[in-house]
């Protein structure tokens, strides 16, 4: 049970300290605008404990009673792990006129630029023929 409490305690502590403010800072006020960073924070943890008899090939007791041999043939193990990922999602820009969300990724812009590049390349190569 100590291990379960340890993982719960660890997850609680990290959950309290892993915030958007800690990752990207406080909101910024510039003139009449306020910029608030937005992030996606994910974390996961896992652990396990097990015990059982050791394989016969590893038990090399001599002159030991059966009861002691049974106790010594029991093995146990414990393991755990976890991870945290923080990704920027964008910012909220708040002004007197409006509030808007500006995404952090430029996927649409990148796709548009790639398509434009392919069209220009096609036109250039078509003129050479």
pLDDT in tens, 90-101: 889 999 999 999
How many domains are there within the chain? 1
Of 1-5, 16-20, 116-120, the one with minimum mean pLDDT is 1-5
Domain span at residue 118?
2-128
- Give the span between the Cα atoms of 22 and 92, in whole angstroms: 17
Taking only Cα atoms into account, the Rg of the chain, rounded to an integer number of angstroms, comes to 29
State whether the Cα torsion 96-99-100-104 is positive or negative.
positive
Grade residue 128 by pLDDT with cuts at 50, 70 and 90. Answer: low
Indicate whether 67 pLDDT > 80.
Answer: no
Helix (H, G, I), strand (E, B) or coil at 49: strand
pTM score > 0.75 for this model? no
State the Cα–Cα distance between residues 106 and 113, nearest whole angstrom. Answer: 11
């Amino acid at each position: 049970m100590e291990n379960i409490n340890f993982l719960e305690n660890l997850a609680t502590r990290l959950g309290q300290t892993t915030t958007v403010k800690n990752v990207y800072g406080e909101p910024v006020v510039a003139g009449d605008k306020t910029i608030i960073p937005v992030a996606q924070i994910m974390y996961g943890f896992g652990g396990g404990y097990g015990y059982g008899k050791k394989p016969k090939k590893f038990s090399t007791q001599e002159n030991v009673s059966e009861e002691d041999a049974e106790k010594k043939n029991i093995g146990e193990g414990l393991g755990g792990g976890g991870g945290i990922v923080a990704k920027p999602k964008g910012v909220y820009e708040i002004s007197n006129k409006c509030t808007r969300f500006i995404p952090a990724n430029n996927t649409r812009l990148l796709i548009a630029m790639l398509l434009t590049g392919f069209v220009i390349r096609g036109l250039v190569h078509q003129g050479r023929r």
